[in-house]
Structure 1
Amino acid sequence: MKDTDDILAVPLWINGHAFLTMAPAFFDVRDPRSGLIRRRTPLCGAGQAATAVDAATAALPAWRSLAVGERTRLLATLADALAGYGSHFAGLIAEESGQEDAAAAAEVEAALRLLRAADAATLASDGGVVAIVCDDRAPLAGLLQRAVPTLLAGSTVVAKPSPKAPSAAVALAELMAQSGFPAGAFNVLHGDLEAIEGLCAAPALGRLLFAGEPELAKRVAEIAGRHGRHLAD
């Protein structure tokens, strides 16, 4: 097995580009099916969280200024791009979450349906800068279930995927950049509980959302409560 020093770290995605950081620690992303370490997730803290929130804050005026129809068009363009890389995304999901190939492919199809169904009926309230914390149960569709109505409403996003399954969120962010989304509209912060603490401590954060298992949602809500924040439904 390769030494972990030879395994590449997953980059953050901030302000429209891959963002490398010297995190104090890393999480080994292990393929549950083979036991092999595939990549490493930087475990970020308050500094990186603040950088991601700042990027989302700077992007907010331009993103809000777009008509709902234009934001819908961008989401549809993203769906077309994702469809072209469907097998790649399914491979990432299966490799990091341990899902069977068919289940991973089905998750990509669910993600496509979410993007293509985006319209005024899915509009959420504009929460300014919104953080979305996800577990590894559905690293793509779970994230988009929260992100699609949030983006459509004119909010910008900082996604915090599970350190166990970080790659789908970064690949999605890269596709967003290629699809014409303005820099900073969608950012990806990596880490665990300290990253969530950093997000909750950022003054410019508007709302905190969660996608995943109820037990982890309770832990996220406890962190939010310590910072005087509420985990939104």
Structure 2
Amino acid sequence: MTGTTLETLTINHFIDGEFSAGTGSATKPVYNPATGAVTAELRLASREDLDRTVAIAKKAAESWGDISLAKRTAVLFKFRELVASHVDELAALITAEHGKVLSDAKGEIGRGLEVIEYACGVPTLLKGEYSDQVSTGIDVFSFREPVGVVAGITPFNFPVMVPLWMAPMAIATGNAFILKPSGNVPSAAMLLARLFQEAGLPDGVFQVLHGDRDTISGLLTHPDVDAISFVGSTPVAKHITEVGTKHGKRVQALGGAKNHAIILPDADLDNAADHVAAAAFGSAGQRCMAISVAVAVGDAADLLVGKVRERALAITVDNGTAPGADMGPVITPASKEFILKTVTEAETAGAAMVVDGRDLIVPGHEDGFWVGPTVIDHVTTAMSAYTEEIFGPVLVVV
């Protein structure tokens, strides 16, 4: 899986049942966002690596699709057991590269396990249909077949859950799956590859290919990739859909959101503040379902802002491995810079800073990518804080 050079971990690909360096010479650093330290170098795929991976997947799909459903589900049952027994190890990898607190990391693994369990029961969903004598001497029947080679392009914010939304279902239905995880959080994907192998999955059915935009473009346009599943930002989701469908692929592409919570005057404001704060600041706001806008109606506004302020100030921001930590860092320096820029633009445009997390420093981790819980009131719909998906621990109130 890895090698070491000058004490820096090198993370390779997983191709045809082996941890492989591939032929590409380019790498990118992997950070621990809580410390700011480079913890590994990630090898990026060359075009030769991509073509080889797809060719292996195509060959594997032909044989895996002919294997009985009973044997497929036996592998998935074993995989489920292995994931469940490696929750602590997976959570540690997530926290080390994403920054979320360990309890949150374990929570996303639990959601992934639910999908594996669903995939274990997939035979009941793969039955065809038969209609007798729909016309004189004519019967009609249908049956389901695997698509072939499926590629999953997954985001940084759920390094285990989102790959497990995709891979178990694709594999259960007889397809080969190529995972292109976020380069910010590659290690959990590598452990999933090992667990699939230990579960008895044939070589080539699940592979991990690390890469950049060229790798994604290669998957979108490769004639032997039959389907694409994507989760990420809305602009990229639109691009994935346009390019993938243009090249004849089945595409599902899930984008981001700017989620609003509407709080009416007759609401239980303590209960509302609890849930708004948890949804805004959990996982440092780096969730597509995070609440980033609170629409406080009438008399609820000032009271709600005060209660959310209390909860924001009570949040303990620290390394995700620290006991008592409620929230960790944001993922990269670029993410931090964008969040700070957007908050500053809102303040300059006249918004009121209720809680300001821009200058947060965590003792002992001064080089980490920290932004504290931030609450901004009197935001208008013309401000970038309202129109942009900030993807950080920022709640705007309108």
Contact (CA 8 Å) 2:62, 2:148: kept in 1 or not? Answer: no
Equivalent residue, structure 1, for 2:61: 60
Contact (CA 8 Å) 1:45, 1:197: kept in 2 or not? Answer: no
CA distance in 2 between partners of 1:125 and 1:96 (Å) = 38
CA distance in 1 between partners of 2:80 and 2:168 (Å) = 11
Contact (CA 8 Å) 2:23, 2:49: kept in 1 or not? Answer: no
- TM-score, normalised to structure 1's length? 0.90
Q: Per the alignment, do residues 97 and 182 of structure 1 end up closer, same or farther by CA in structure 2, a change over 3 Å counting?
A: same
Equivalent residue, structure 2, for 1:170: 190
Contact (CA 8 Å) 1:142, 1:212: kept in 2 or not? Answer: no
Equivalent residue, structure 1, for 2:99: 98
Equivalent residue, structure 2, for 1:131: 151
CA distance in 1 between partners of 2:215 and 2:125 (Å) = 28
SS in 2 for 1:209: strand
CA distance in 2 between partners of 1:98 and 1:222 (Å) = 33
Of residues 117-126 and 82-91 in structure 1, the stretch that sits farther from structure 2 once superposed is 117-126
Q: Per the alignment, do residues 214 and 73 of structure 1 end up closer, same or farther by CA in structure 2, a change over 3 Å counting?
A: farther
Q: Percent identity?
A: 28
Q: Per the alignment, do residues 68 and 230 of structure 1 end up closer, same or farther by CA in structure 2, a change over 3 Å counting?
A: closer
Of residues 9-18 and 119-128 in structure 1, the stretch that sits farther from structure 2 once superposed is 119-128
CA distance in 2 between partners of 1:86 and 1:143 (Å) = 15
Alignment of 1:184-199 (within 5 A): 184-199=204-219
Equivalent residue, structure 2, for 1:109: 110
Shift of 1:213: 3.8
CA distance in 2 between partners of 1:226 and 1:5 (Å) = 45
Shift of 1:228: 5.6
RMSD: 2.1
Of residues 117-126 and 90-99 in structure 1, the stretch that sits farther from structure 2 once superposed is 117-126
Q: Per the alignment, do residues 192 and 225 of structure 1 end up closer, same or farther by CA in structure 2, a change over 3 Å counting?
A: farther
Write the letter of the residue equivalent to 1:101.
L
Of residues 73-82 and 211-220 in structure 1, the stretch that sits farther from structure 2 once superposed is 211-220
CA distance in 1 between partners of 2:114 and 2:83 (Å) = 11
SS in 2 for 1:187: strand
Q: Which runs of no fewer than 5 residues in structure 1 stay unpaired? A: none
Alignment of 1:150-165 (within 5 A): 150-165=170-185
CA distance in 1 between partners of 2:207 and 2:57 (Å) = 7
CA distance in 1 between partners of 2:118 and 2:245 (Å) = 33
Shift of 1:68: 1.9
The count of residues paired between Structure 1 and Structure 2 equals: 230
- Name which structure has the greater RCO, CA cutoff 8 Å, separation 6+: 1
- Can you list the C-alpha shifts for 1:131-176, whole angstroms capped at 9, x where unaligned? 1100111111101101121111101001100001111111101111
Of residues 124-133 and 103-112 in structure 1, the stretch that sits farther from structure 2 once superposed is 124-133
Write the letter of the residue equivalent to 1:160.
K
Of residues 42-51 and 166-175 in structure 1, the stretch that sits farther from structure 2 once superposed is 42-51
Shift of 1:212: 3.4
Q: Which runs of no fewer than 5 residues in structure 2 stay unpaired? A: 127-143, 254-398
SS in 2 for 1:150: helix
Contact (CA 8 Å) 2:22, 2:46: kept in 1 or not? Answer: no
Alignment of 1:1-233 (within 5 A): 6-118=7-119, 119-120=121-122, 126-224=146-244, 227=247, 229=249, 231-232=251-252
Shift of 1:122: 6.3
